[in-house]
Structure 1
Amino acid sequence: MPELRAGTVITGTDVPTMVSAIVTGLESPTSTSFIAGSATCGVAFVAPTTGRVLIEWRANLDNSTNAFTIVAPEVRTGSSVGSGTVVLAASDVNALYGFGTNELGFGCFVPLDGLTPGESYNVRLMHRVTSGTGTIQNSREVIVLPLT
């Protein structure tokens, strides 16, 4: 947020609100490459004046074998979830990992800066497995918080 002084005009991009999306239902990924799945969990947001946001996400994960089920965010330009130019690609570096056949709930976050203040972006959760069939149970959630 910019330094506020007497007479400073405050706009909606100076103090945007948190946005979130929750998707319920079962996903059973088998792809070893990141995909969005059948029920996309994503949300559009406007970059704050600082150009910085915190992306948080959670999911309940397991796998049919002793392998990983992985969930990571992908950020793109524009307000249409899944469209636009990739700003942050889904990667194993910024991911939740569930291993094996015991379902566990996980949560993770990643700060993202360098966004253009006032511009629209979108984030969606992508998933993959290292082998076997993954299971993403109950619900997935993604939250975007403005950072100062």
Structure 2
Amino acid sequence: MASSSGTSSGYSTLPNSGSEEDLMLLMDQRKRKRMISNRESARRSRMRKQKHLDDLALQVSQLRNENQQIVTSVNLTTQRFLAVESENSVLRAQLNELNNRFESLNEIINFMNVTNGVFEPVSVDNDNNNYFNNPLNMAYLNQPIMASADMNMMHY
């Protein structure tokens, strides 16, 4: 018969049956040990897999936050760009209006130089009629020329 320790003692009455029993017990122990080892290995593998999954979920969360910050930054930059572009458009319209006013004033000066010869300042003391007949002294010409960006857009 087999000993309680599971090893062969050699003093059995049936040597073949004792060693077979011992061999079976040894194989059962090895099988149980392998099973326990495999279960532990599988448990560690599941834990590694879960940790990897948790790490990936954290990374996804961080990347989504980073992406949201980038989208917000792009939206703010786009809004600033549109505001600057709008202001630039208004400034261009004002520049065009000022250029038109400048050209008109130059035409008036040229017209006055052609009709009066040389442009000379007129003194009020010399001739009252001459002062009032001079178009440069007329009240409507001394008024500022008013224009807006909307008026300039009609020319396009």
TM bin (shorter chain): under 0.3
The structure number with the bigger radius of gyration is: 2
Q: Which has the higher helix share?
A: 2
Please give the TM-score of this superposition, normalised by the length of structure 1. Answer: 0.19
Q: Which has the higher strand share?
A: 1
Higher relative contact order (CA 8 A, sep 6+): 1
